[in-house]
């Protein structure tokens, strides 16, 4: 049986870029921790953010469909989730 994806409740349309690519910043540039709002959700599910990990993103407002985000670390921006609908099936 496959492990369920960690679920993150966010308002991800805040991070919509051009061409349908969405991103969500998860924290500050300080260290490897995410913002406490997101970190609390990860902690409750026993999830540790890692490069390339997949996370189910559920819109807090309920007006957007669920998406799967791929975690990434950037020295300038910290942890983020990226969704490219063009690569989603």
Between CA 87 and CA 7 the distance in angstroms is 20
pLDDT value at residue 39: 82
- H or E stretch including 37? helix 36-44
pLDDT value at residue 69: 87
Query: In this structure, what are the phi and psi dihedrals at residue 22, rounded to the nearest 5 degrees?
Result: -110, 145
pTM: 0.71
pLDDT digits (tens, 9 = 90+) for 31-74: 555 678 788 888 888 888 889 988 888 877 777 778 888 988 88
pLDDT value at residue 61: 74
Residues in Cβ contact with 74 at an 8 Å cutoff, skipping those fewer than 6 apart: 80
Q: Would you kindly state where each structural domain of the chain is located, as residue ranges?
A: 7-87
pLDDT value at residue 19: 61
């Amino acid at each position: 049986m496959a492990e369920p994806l960690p679920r993150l409740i966010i308002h991800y349309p805040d991070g919509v870029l051009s061409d349908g690519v969405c991103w969500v910043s998860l924290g500050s540039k300080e260290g490897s921790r995410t913002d406490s709002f997101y970190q609390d959700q990860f902690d409750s599910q026993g999830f540790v953010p890692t490069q390339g990990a997949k996370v189910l993103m559920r819109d807090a407002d309920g007006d957007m469909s669920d998406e799967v985000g791929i975690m990434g670390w950037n020295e300038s921006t910290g942890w983020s989730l990226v969704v490219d609908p063009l690569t989603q099936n």
